[in-house]
């Protein structure tokens, strides 16, 4: 399978190149040339299949031409060493719990898959040159990628994060690891971190000196595997007789997670429609309403992993729908919530359903509550465990949130990080001198 750039000005790439390079030469995002339909019998039997079996079938459709079958199966099964269960929260509203992985957020799935796929390609290449993974994070990406790659030979990970804008718990998940993980604390906001990473990939001198790759949600090896759990959600809903008029709602920031769901629909997954839930960063919400896309600097909110002012994966959505606002808005609607609303949602959901939402999942839950129509059933992604946002959640619901053991373990570690300005020249000379 070949991959093209959303900007259409770069040569086609192999999967290996798309994974290693991350971003195309023309700064576009890679898209698979074809999206394979899965056969009807797959959907007829899906409710009898395990999560791993379903995921392998989906992975085979994307990557089967480029990765040898047994290796791909192992990558998928190793990636999914934890479940993504569907849990009933309210009438016809289900939580797709994506926080059962090592860093308690959905990004574990994509990050673990990418680490294993990259390692597969490095082994095949027999290269001795170290690969450097650069990743910008507004919180959860950094921890998922750092943990997904921790201890993987031949790969060094640099996590760039905005100083003071990431919760202590999130920070501990990538600043305490050591080994092949370096945390870089940038004096700026998330968009500055992302700009540093993008500039590094475009810098010829830097690329001639070191092998760089991205692990942001723009990487095809990270965002495509996120489709796995939407198929699984459908399967579990089907088993409960809840899969007709099935709605998927995704709390969205950089729009990688929902784009994977849209790819799933293109592969035949019977989803009636999609809802993209935003916090106060309502750029896509406004686009869906008006057809005008007006990126702007991100606003800090309590759902900080969704604080994105110019979502990268929006380019993929446009491409997938032939740039048609009409087609996009027929398939997807939006919702937006202020911090105050998010706090109230967490409180209400706890009181009414005895279910603790995190601030991101809260946007998803409420968007379904507000927009679900008669006869529909929906899942919203609970994208992180509420304990990752302990203080915010506890003050909203007025009750204690228990910290899972695997999260507590991170908080024992010692912080190690490098301070950086948002000036690319500084970042570049740091990398070269390393």
Ligand X SMILES: *Cc1c(COP(=O)(O)O)cnc(C)c1O
Instruction: Name the residues annotated as catalytic.
Output: 107
Site string for ligand X, 309-338 (x = CB under 6 A): ------------------------------
Site string for ligand X, 376-395 (x = CB under 6 A): -------xx-----------
Contact 385, 164 (CB under 8 A): no
Beta bridge partners of 162: 186
Sole binder of ligand X in the list 3, 4, 255, 337 (CB under 6 A): 255
Q: Which is nearer to ligand X, 152 or 302 (CB)?
A: 302
Residues 235-254 that bind ligand X (CB under 6 A): 251-254
Contact 261, 272 (CB under 8 A): no
Residue 165 CB, shortest distance to ligand X, in Å, is: 13
Helix pair angle (424-433, 190-202), 10° resolution: 60
Which residues fall within 8 angstroms of residue 225, CB to CB, at 6 or more apart? 55, 59, 79, 109, 110, 113, 114, 260
Which residues fall within 8 angstroms of residue 287, CB to CB, at 6 or more apart? 293, 294, 314, 325, 334
Rounded alpha-carbon distances, angstroms, from residue 370 to 91, 174, 290, 306, 364: 13, 36, 20, 20, 10
Sole binder of ligand X in the list 167, 194, 217, 298 (CB under 6 A): 217
Contact 2, 13 (CB under 8 A): yes
Q: How many residues line the site for ligand X (CB under 6 A)?
A: 17
Residue 255 CB, shortest distance to ligand X, in Å, is: 5
Q: Which is nearer to ligand X, 107 or 369 (CB)?
A: 107
Chain position whose Cβ is nearest to ligand X: 140
Residues 61-100 that bind ligand X (CB under 6 A): none
Residue 162 CB, shortest distance to ligand X, in Å, is: 14
Q: Which is nearer to ligand X, 10 or 102 (CB)?
A: 102
Residue 400 CB, shortest distance to ligand X, in Å, is: 21
- Letter string b/e over residues 150-163, b meaning 16 or more CB atoms within 10 A of that residue's CB: bebebbbbbbbbbb
Contact 304, 331 (CB under 8 A): no
Sole binder of ligand X in the list 256, 264, 334, 386 (CB under 6 A): 256
Sole binder of ligand X in the list 52, 172, 257, 392 (CB under 6 A): 257
Residues 140-159 that bind ligand X (CB under 6 A): 140
Q: Whose CA is closest to 80, among 264, 228, 236? A: 228
Residue 318 CB, shortest distance to ligand X, in Å, is: 15
**Interface region with ligand X, contact rule CB under 6 A, candidates 195-203, 240-248, 255-263, 318-326:** 255-263
* Strand-pair category, 181-186 with 418-420: parallel
* Per-residue tokens: 246: 């099935």
Summarize as ranges the residues that interact with ligand X (CB under 6 A): 105, 107, 139-140, 217, 251-257, 305-306, 360, 383-384
């Amino acid at each position: 399978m070949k991959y093209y750039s959303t900007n259409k000005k770069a040569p086609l790439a192999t999967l290996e190149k798309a994974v290693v390079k991350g971003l195309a030469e023309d700064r576009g995002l890679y898209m698979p040339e074809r999206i394979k339909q899965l056969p009807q019998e797959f959907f007829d039997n899906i409710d009898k299949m395990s999560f791993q079996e379903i995921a392998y079938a989906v992975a085979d459709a994307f990557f089967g031409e480029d990765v040898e079958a047994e290796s791909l199966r192992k990558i998928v099964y190793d990636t999914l060493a934890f479940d993504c269960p569907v849990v009933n929260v309210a009438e016809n509203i289900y939580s797709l719990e994506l926080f059962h992985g090592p860093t308690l957020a959905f990004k574990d799935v994509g990050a673990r898959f990418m680490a294993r796929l990259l390692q597969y390609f490095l082994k095949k290449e027999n290269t001795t040159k170290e690969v450097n993974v650069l990743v910008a994070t507004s919180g959860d990406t950094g921890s998922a990628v750092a943990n997904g790659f921790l201890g993987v030979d031949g790969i060094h990970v640099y996590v760039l994060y905005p100083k003071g804008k990431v919760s202590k718990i999130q920070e501990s998940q990538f600043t305490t690891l050591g080994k092949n993980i370096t945390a870089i604390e940038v004096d700026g906001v998330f968009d500055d971190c992302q700009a540093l990473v993008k500039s590094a990939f475009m810098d010829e001198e830097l690329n001639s000196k070191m092998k760089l790759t991205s692990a942001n949600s723009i990487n095809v090896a990270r965002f495509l595997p996120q489709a796995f759990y939407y198929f699984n959600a459908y399967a579990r809903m089907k088993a409960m007789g809840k899969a007709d008029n099935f709605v998927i709602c995704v709390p969205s920031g950089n729009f990688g997670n929902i784009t994977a769901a849209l790819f799933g629909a293109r592969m035949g997954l019977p989803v009636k429609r999609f809802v993209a839930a935003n916090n106060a960063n309502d750029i896509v919400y406004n686009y869906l309403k008006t057809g005008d896309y007006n990126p702007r600097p991100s606003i800090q909110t309590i759902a900080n992993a969704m604080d994105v002012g110019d979502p990268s994966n929006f380019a993929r959505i446009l491409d997938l729908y032939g740039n048609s606002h009409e087609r996009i808005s027929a398939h997807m609607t939006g919702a937006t919530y202020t911090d105050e609303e998010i706090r109230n949602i967490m409180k209400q959901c706890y009181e009414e359903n005895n279910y603790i939402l995190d601030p991101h999942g809260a946007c998803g839950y409420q968007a379904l509550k507000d927009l679900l129509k008669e006869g529909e059933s929906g899942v919203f992604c609970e994208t992180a465990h509420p304990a990752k946002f302990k203080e915010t959640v506890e003050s909203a619901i007025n009750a204690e949130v228990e910290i899972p053991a695997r999260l507590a373990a991170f908080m024992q570690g010692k912080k190690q990080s490098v301070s950086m300005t948002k000036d690319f020249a500084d970042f570049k000379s740091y990398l070269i001198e390393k």
